[in-house]
Amino acid sequence: MIDLYYWPTPNGKKISIFLEETGTPYTLKPVDISHGDQFTPEYLKLNPNHRMPAIVDTEPKDGGAPVGVFESGAILFYLAEKTGKLWPQDLRTKYDVAQWVIWQMANQGPKLGEAGHFRRLGDREGDQSYAVRRFTDEANRLYGVLNMRLRDRRYLAGEDFTIADIISYPWTVNWQAQGQDINEFRHFKRWFEEVGARPGVQRGLAVGADLSTDQSKLAPEEQAHIRKILYNQRAIHLPD
């Protein structure tokens, strides 16, 4: 059985989409990142980077002790290998998938995350116009990369839907908040609509919808408290 340490954000939804698409049984373990669950000593043992998602496989293939995995890309590699699904193993497709999974982890996730962050921030911390422009442009560049890749193939790694599509899709759902217009990117838009119409993707996106609250509807003090947890992180020091 897979224990999924989860909160309903784009990085968490990569994993719930995989599990729903493949019909893999799992238990949801909520990690409320707006209240600091990612910093508990128990969770830090599983993910020293204090982020979610993470998984624990209580029945690993080798029959040994439970296996914990953090970083969504590594989790998808693990689950695809375990289930034998959504990661074709012929040499060429295997590395086409791997390069797009790593592209997502190193480029699309971090840059779109910063685009959303600075666009949401407003002028609370002073003038952010350079950061907003920088990351909105980067987001635009990355939508262009997807568009170019998808101009002559159905999915990111060819004709088959794979973990490369699963990992890239959830970050594009909020394209408007990233300051983009997907009508600029017609090949991407075709893929976006096709992936978004898959029942497994829709089920995965909906996982934990009841867990989070719309922060803009919270009292200003509560919003400030959440920002303090999420926006002011520095190193966790070892106990003396």
Ligand X SMILES: N[C@@H](CCC(=O)N[C@@H](CS)C(=O)NCC(=O)O)C(=O)O
Neighbours of 47 (CB within 10 A): 19
Q: Could you tell me the sign of the dihedral formed by the alpha carbons of 200, 205, 206, 207, in that order?
A: positive
Is residue 168 close enough to count as binding ligand X by CB under 6 A? no
Q: Write down the least CB distance from residue 76 to ligand X, Å.
A: 9
Is residue 38 close enough to count as binding ligand X by CB under 6 A? yes
Question: What gap in Å lies between CA 83 and CA 203, rounded to an integer?
Answer: 19
Is residue 111 close enough to count as binding ligand X by CB under 6 A? no
Among residues 69 and 86, whose Cβ is nearest to ligand X?
69
Q: Which residues pair with 56 in a beta bridge?
A: 3, 68
Is residue 13 close enough to count as binding ligand X by CB under 6 A? no
Which element (helix H / strand E) includes 162? none
Contacting residue, 22, 28, 67, 71, with ligand X by CB under 6 A: 71
Q: Position of tokens 């995995």?
A: 69
Contacting residue, 2, 4, 33, 69, with ligand X by CB under 6 A: 33
CA-nearest of 4, 15, 51 to 170 is 15
CA-nearest of 7, 24, 152 to 83 is 24
Neighbours of 26 (CB within 10 A): 19
Q: Write down the least CB distance from residue 169 to ligand X, Å.
A: 14
Question: What gap in Å lies between CA 134 and CA 219, rounded to an integer?
Answer: 31
Question: What gap in Å lies between CA 51 and CA 7, rounded to an integer?
Answer: 10
Is residue 172 close enough to count as binding ligand X by CB under 6 A? no
Is residue 51 close enough to count as binding ligand X by CB under 6 A? yes
Is residue 72 close enough to count as binding ligand X by CB under 6 A? yes
Q: Write down the least CB distance from residue 186 to ligand X, Å.
A: 28
Is residue 162 close enough to count as binding ligand X by CB under 6 A? no
Contacting residue, 3, 8, 9, 83, with ligand X by CB under 6 A: 9
SS3 content of the chain, % helix, strand, coil (to 5): 60, 10, 35
Question: What gap in Å lies between CA 99 and CA 178, rounded to an integer?
Answer: 24
Among residues 76 and 189, whose Cβ is nearest to ligand X?
76
Considering only the stretches 8-16, 94-102, 116-124, 213-221, report the one whose residues sit in contact with ligand X under the rule CB under 6 A: 8-16
Among residues 33 and 142, whose Cβ is nearest to ligand X?
33
Is residue 180 close enough to count as binding ligand X by CB under 6 A? no
Contacts with ligand X, residue ranges (CB under 6 A)? 9-11, 33, 38, 51-53, 71-72, 105, 109, 230
